[in-house]
Amino acid sequence: MTARVLAVDDIAANLRLLEAKLQAEYYEVLLASSGQEALTTAFTQLPDVILLDVMMPGMDGYQVCSALKADARTQHIPVVMVTALTDSSERVRGLEVGADDFLSKPVDDATLFARLRALLRVKQVQDAWRLRAETARELGLESSAPEPAISVAHARALVLAEVPEEMAAVRDALQADAIKTVCVTSIDEAQKQLMKGEFDLALLALPPDATEVLRLASRLRAQNNTRDLPLLLLADTAQKTQVLRGFDLGANDHAFRPLDPNELRARARNQIRRKRYQERLRAELDRSLEMAVTDQLTGLRNRRYVRRHLDGLLRTEEAAVLLVDIDKFKSINDTYGHNVGDVALREVAERLRVQLRAADVVARYGGEEFLAVLTGAPSAYALIVADRLREAIAAEPIRTGDVVLPVTISIGVAVGGPGVPADQLIGSADEALYRAKRDGRNRAYLADPDLDKSAQ
């Protein structure tokens, strides 16, 4: 997995050594020898990961990390702090300003590359979602307003641990941040609970023989419900090999025993925020896609959607097209104004919608025209539906304020099977609609002129 890595250290020898290690693994390497240079490079080059020395003159690593996380361009770039400091309070300080992990000097190669791979996997997924969300914003489908801060309150975490004291310590630490915990001792029970897809974080305590817990991590990554669930491993310092294996299997983070409650809380918060941010991006995309295929006035599908839907149907099966036009709609707008016209459009749209099957699609096709596509509908059935739609509109006038509007519709019907171009089918329905309008409106005509009398 190749990527662009920014290495930051004020000691030239350290930089060159790190550069050589990274290039040997085919990473593209950017170098910075000060905090300010690191920020300039990060803002202009947008690396995939930043390896950041803590102890630097002028601007230290904590200040650099804080500045990176405060800027929209770089706030989602993973940061790994590289330091000779070993005090847990220093790790907590770094995690609280947004660092993803710490590596101790001299940097162990296996640990370095395992962490890079794990962080890059997560970043690639988030980059994909973020790019889609940015595209939606550029198209005007989503607001470009600043995003609100992500809270971890009321998140749900599952704790798998065999030792009651460790389980209680983890639970108490997380509850300090209002994170709800479910504690289990069985791997089978953990998997059963997690497969429900209701958790924001899983903390897996490694026993002396960690094989089955790591196998659980692998299974969780293979399932749709848990593929993006953050996994945090709890391990002894002597279990470094198992932790690195866990990273390769999909774990996101780790904490070594004896557990520091503040460090554990900071790591848990970071993982939950990242998951919730990804969920926010996914929800934005879902909304954007819905907006892209929905007519904002009527709530029906729009022209773009129904055309694609019809194209897809006609590849494999028969479909009926009903082109619907509101009779004398211009006079409604001219007499009562566009606000009343909009009410009429919405009411007609709703009456059409409730008269159709769930498998059918009705869309606003443009102006006062609607297009309904009936899957697998022969001519006789399509005409029955068209007449039902016509009667549903004419049966009761539309009321808005003091205005009472008797409204009718005219419908052109065309039926085609696999291989018939959508344009041809819609064109045939349009011709039938024209004849229905010409012959007095409030009629449903089939595209085949021989069947017009039965349609009347």
- The residues carrying an active-site annotation are 368
Chain Cα centroid distance, residue 55: 38
Tell me the C-alpha distance between 130 and 284, whole Å.
10
Residue 256 exposed, middle or buried by CB count within 10 Å (0-12, 13-18, 19+): middle
Tell me the C-alpha distance between 78 and 47, whole Å.
9
- For the record, the structure tokens of 18 come out as 């790190």
Nearest to 337 by CA among 410, 390, 405: 405
Residue with tokens 């599908």: 301
Tell me the C-alpha distance between 247 and 217, whole Å.
9
DSSP assignment of 214-230, as one string? HHHHHHHHHSGGGTT--
For β-strands 409-416 and 319-326, DSSP reports them as: antiparallel
Tell me the C-alpha distance between 238 and 92, whole Å.
22
- For the record, the structure tokens of 197 come out as 């897809």
Beta bridge partners of 390: none
Nearest to 7 by CA among 26, 24, 37: 37
